[in-house]
Amino acid sequence: MGSDIQPEQVFKGIAASPGVAHGKVYLFVPKELEIPGTPVEKGGEEREVERFEKKLMETRQQVLKLQKEVAERLGEDEARIFDAHLLVLEDRALIEETIREMRESGRNITYCFHQVAQRYIDAFAHIDDEYLRERANDIRDVSKRMLHNLVGDTQYGLARLVSERVIVARDISPSDTANIEKGRVLALITDAGSKTSHAVIMARSIQVPAVVGMRNITKLLSNGDDILVDGYDGQVVVNPSEKTLFRYGKLQEEKRSLEKKILSQIRRTTKTRDGATISLMANIEGAGEAERIRRYGAEGVGLFRTEYLFLNAPEFPSEEEQYEAYKKVAEEMAPDPVIIRTLDLGGDKFPNSLYRTDTEANPFLGLRAIRLCLENTELFKTQLRAILRASVGGNIKLMYPMISGAGELDRANGILQEARGELDQKKIAYDNSMPVGAMIEIPSAAVTADILARKCDFFSIGTNDLIQYLLAIDRINERIAHLYEPTHPAVLRMIQTIVQAAHRENIRVGLCGEIAGDPVLVPIFLGLGVDELSIVASGLPAIKYMLRNIDFADMKELTDEVLKQEDPKAIFATAEAFYKKHVSHLIA
């Protein structure tokens, strides 16, 4: 389809990152490197091994640099993608196999690495497990980088892009996306891909519109074609007419003025029109996220998932390393609060350093979170000492996950007391009045919330788990995902029970599950009396804007109404009608 043929054509894909862009196509279809299997000259094997090790180091340095840049630009969450790449480069089995193959076949190391990596990719690609299949992509991505280094071509991929273009590709790897300089890429379109692929998450983070799942658009387009990308609706218009451009121009204008309106209120406190205040906090997974979440108007950290410091690390982080991480966040957020949740390992989160051979039949009902910590008291106490020490430098609150009842809470507090005693002995300072709270995410804790409230300084409701345990719906099983209903009356009643128990003891209640960021459901939670919401930072501006422009009394009325209803779908419909009447004109 050359641009000399002018009719407008519309293609439909999956909307993956919002926004509209118009520009010229840059077709990014990298050719496979040709790697001939030339023999190594006699006696040259050791030099080949040396060269290989050197290139492994170089590639590692590049990935580390990329990871650092991505962490600074997009946050630690996105940067974690490259941990898997680093693991591949350190994989002794792959390295030794390559060297052995070179010695046995007599062919050059680049060729042998290519062969061995390809065997690994094929093996992983055929495993019947989505997580392991994803590893095939990691190996493909990083081995491509390594091969380019081995053949001496370092300027590959999108690093060559010099002017502003719409990138059209079969697929894009995280490395490719990380190479993208925001100013140079107007939008991304790919043949393959789903909404949740890493590359798309990164496109969203750098706020570049993206449409994926276009099947074979790379075959239909040529470099320089005129194209319009609609990342809201997942449409791609080739050779857009004046009329189309005008229509999209207006849409963009409207969206921009809405964004401006929303962002203009980001620094204000979250107060409804009739004066109710709500704290809007962010969930984080790493130590370097304070600046980023502040940009989104976070009024504190409502949930620091500390287990991510342990995942992918070759060994458990020491007390000192943990202390530095907690202190950094606390100092950067001060005087705003940072709720540090103690380790929630187990379930679907296992660090490499806790590699287990004994698999559990029901890991979400197994040795997870506080249970695991109460069985590994040294691991737990190390973390508690690190948190206590960091509490001097900021407004830290400590929170235990998966508390099922008062006994467990007492035992956790007993160990906390031991940790305090150990610091006292060494005359190390800590904040003796650091608040200590519990996540309420197991039905037994919710039902006994009145007892727990007397022993806690605050609660945070973890609806991700509370819903799975209350409704018996595995939170990661897509076959029953349609049964995971936050508007089930049992869920609403349970939240109400928790809030009432907490307020009777004058303690505050937060809600930190994913649904705390859903503008359709938020009015119900606030109507039920939840004091704080903690969500993914990028969702905060819209929620803040919405709350500043509606009345608490209306949310309360909605809640009273839905508490009388019995069907989850009907409750959702009522909430949606409220959203349409009071909210959608504000933020949609």
Residues of this chain that bind ligand PEP (CB under 6 A) = 303, 305, 344, 441, 462-465, 512-513
SS3 (DSSP) at 457: coil
Q: Which residues pair with 439 in a beta bridge?
A: 460
* Tokens encoding 529: 């009396």
Q: Is-catalytic flag, 512? A: yes
In sequence order, the 6+-apart residues with CB closer than 8 A to the CB of 148 are 33, 154, 156
305 binds, among Mg ion, ligand PEP, none (CB under 5 to 8 A by kind): ligand PEP
Give the gyration radius of the chain's Cα atoms. Answer: 26
Return the amino acid letter for 63. V
Q: How many residues bind Mg ion (CB under 5 A)?
A: 3
Q: How far is the CB of 553 from ligand PEP (least distance, A)?
A: 28
Return the amino acid letter for 250. K
Residue (209 or 462) nearer to Mg ion, CB: 462
Whole-angstrom Cα distance, residue 184 to residue 177? 12
Whole-angstrom Cα distance, residue 496 to residue 530? 9
Contact between 17 and 188 under an 8 Å Cβ cutoff? The reply is: yes
Q: How far is the CB of 470 from ligand PEP (least distance, A)?
A: 12
Q: Which residue has the tokens 């496979």?
A: 32
Residue (239 or 342) nearer to ligand PEP, CB: 342
Residue (94 or 343) nearer to ligand PEP, CB: 343
CB atoms within 10 A of CB 152: 8
Q: How far is the CB of 341 from Mg ion (least distance, A)?
A: 9
The torsion angles phi and psi of 580, rounded to 5 degrees, stand at -65, -35
Site membership for Mg ion, residue 462 (CB under 5 A):
yes
Residue (376 or 464) nearer to ligand PEP, CB: 464
Q: How far is the CB of 464 from Mg ion (least distance, A)?
A: 5
Whole-angstrom Cα distance, residue 417 to residue 30? 59
Per CB under 5 A, contacts with Mg ion among 517-576 are: none
Member of 465, 495, 502, 532 binding Mg ion (CB under 5 A)? 465
Per-residue x/- marks for Mg ion, 428-457, CB under 5 A? -------------x----------------
Residue (240 or 486) nearer to ligand PEP, CB: 486
463 binds, among ligand PEP, Mg ion, none (CB under 5 to 8 A by kind): ligand PEP
Residue (213 or 510) nearer to ligand PEP, CB: 510
Q: Is-catalytic flag, 22? A: no
Contact between 586 and 546 under an 8 Å Cβ cutoff? The reply is: yes
User: Which position among 22, 85, 114, 198 bears the catalytic label?
Assistant: 198
231 binds, among ligand PEP, Mg ion, none (CB under 5 to 8 A by kind): none
Q: How far is the CB of 302 from ligand PEP (least distance, A)?
A: 9
149 binds, among Mg ion, ligand PEP, none (CB under 5 to 8 A by kind): none
Q: Which residues pair with 21 in a beta bridge?
A: 229
Residue (307 or 332) nearer to Mg ion, CB: 307
How many helices, marked H, and strands, marked E, lie in the chain? 24, 16
Q: Which is nearest to 487 in space by CA: 528, 453, 446? A: 528
Return the amino acid letter for 189. I
CB atoms within 10 A of CB 321: 14
306 binds, among ligand PEP, Mg ion, none (CB under 5 to 8 A by kind): none
In total, the chain counts a number of residues equal to 588
408 binds, among ligand PEP, Mg ion, none (CB under 5 to 8 A by kind): none
User: Which position among 112, 373, 456, 512 bears the catalytic label?
Assistant: 512
Binding segment for Mg ion (CB under 5 A), chosen from 16-24, 230-238, 247-255, 465-473, is: 465-473
Q: How far is the CB of 460 from Mg ion (least distance, A)?
A: 10
Whole-angstrom Cα distance, residue 532 to residue 461? 10
* Tokens encoding 550: 């509606």
Whole-angstrom Cα distance, residue 587 to residue 261? 9
Report residue 87 CA to chain centroid gap.
20
512 binds, among ligand PEP, Mg ion, none (CB under 5 to 8 A by kind): ligand PEP
Contact between 328 and 287 under an 8 Å Cβ cutoff? The reply is: yes
Q: How far is the CB of 285 from ligand PEP (least distance, A)?
A: 9
Binding footprint of Mg ion on the chain (CB under 5 A): 441, 462, 465
Active-site amino acid positions: 198, 512
